[in-house]
Amino acid sequence: MKPFLVLAVAGSLLAATMAAAQSEKGVPSPKKAVRIGVLYPGVDNAVFRSNFEGFRQGLADAGYVEGRNLSLQVRAGDGRVLGPLAAELANLHPDLILGVGRPGVVAMHEATSAIPLVAMDLESDPVASGFVQTVPRPGGNLTGVFMDFPELAGKWLEILKTAVPSLARVAVLWDPAGGPAQLDAARQAAHTLKLVLHPVEARSVAEIGAAFDAAMRERPNGMIVLTSPIFSSGRQTIAEHAARHRLPALVPFTGYTKDGGLVAYGPEVPTMYRQAAAIAVKILAGASPKELPIERPTTFTLSLNLKTAKALGLTIPQSLLLRANDVIE
């Protein structure tokens, strides 16, 4: 046998041996190189990157590793108009695009009907918003993970009222770009709970401080924060302003209590990113978005910070402590 043939055969045997070893260890065989665009309306900061790690890890578990066979093109808006960023991503012609939050999904849905879109949206009803035809069979180029539970706003008010028995006037921090569904549900629940709501807007992290100042003019004794990518990446800013104003606040992002916030209740965002990654993997393997059912979050967590409660002069009822998944002493 000629030397170059020996080397070729040896190389093939080595590759086969390595592939077999990878398979035995549960490591997927290398995949073809892919490009994925990401449109995130919030700030590309430490909070976003921590949550987004769920998406990266989900892809890595399937054999797509950034810097090897995966290129991620991330565009973050922080409240800016997303149309140009969506067009920029579409013009890159990636294998698929991840749209985060209602603003990100709307912008990407308007920018392309050809590139597969995976949504991770806590604010929208995907059918009522016109993103898909039906939940089981979306019918177009978009599928993904949608929370679609606006009634959670009522749950947030109930939890906050349990934590703050004197609750009467509640500020509601909301991002108009997320749509009115959660705010409408909060108003309905407030009527039942005999609470007075004072909605205040913030469209970027930079506007959160002014929104708190506007809220405090109404003398609230509590606040709930509605879902928005802006508020997810601005979680620490919200905790700082709530502490400065001594305002008990509930945020739907569970990391809020680790930032010093009082109470958080909502879906595990990193887990949602993993769900989105699993859908993306199916599309990269050849599945059509129009036939992949819409999914919903699978894990919800109630978290309490007792140190913050003590600083606010609150005693968290035992009934709420028993329901909590995570209690920070």
Pairwise CA distance, residues 138 & 264, whole Å:
32
> What pLDDT shows up at residue 29?
54
Q: For the segment 97-149, what is each residue's pLDDT rounded down to a tens digit?
A: 999 999 999 999 999 999 999 999 999 999 999 999 999 999 999 999 999 99
152-267+301-328 CATH fold: Rossmann fold (3.40.50)
Residue 96, helix vs strand vs coil: strand
Q: For the segment 266-290, what is each residue's pLDDT rounded down to a tens digit?
A: 999 999 999 999 999 999 999 999 9
CATH of 28-148+269-300, one of 3.40.50.300, 3.40.50.2300, 3.40.50.720, 3.30.470.10: 3.40.50.2300
> What pLDDT shows up at residue 246?
97
Residue 23 has pLDDT above 70, yes or no: no
Pairwise CA distance, residues 130 & 184, whole Å:
19
> Which are the contacts of 69, defined by CB distance < 8 A and separation ≥ 6?
30, 31, 32, 33, 34, 63
Q: For the segment 27-67, what is each residue's pLDDT rounded down to a tens digit?
A: 455 578 999 999 999 999 999 999 999 999 999 999 999 99
Structural contact between residues 304 and 328, judged by C-beta atoms closer than 8 angstroms: yes
Tell me the average pLDDT across 67-93: 95
Q: With bands split at pLDDT 50, 70 and 90, how would you rate the model's confidence at 11?
A: very low
Structural contact between residues 116 and 141, judged by C-beta atoms closer than 8 angstroms: yes
> What pLDDT shows up at residue 299?
87
Q: For the segment 159-173, what is each residue's pLDDT rounded down to a tens digit?
A: 999 999 999 999 999
Pairwise CA distance, residues 96 & 108, whole Å:
11
Tokens of 29: 């065989």
Domain regions of the chain by residue span: 28-148+269-300, 152-267+301-328
Tell me the average pLDDT across 84-106: 97
Examine domains 28-148+269-300 and 152-267+301-328 and report if their fold is the same. Answer: yes
Q: For the segment 207-263, what is each residue's pLDDT rounded down to a tens digit?
A: 999 999 999 999 999 999 999 999 999 999 999 999 999 999 999 998 999 999 999
> What pLDDT shows up at residue 30?
56
Residue 152 has pLDDT above 80, yes or no: yes
> What pLDDT shows up at residue 71?
97
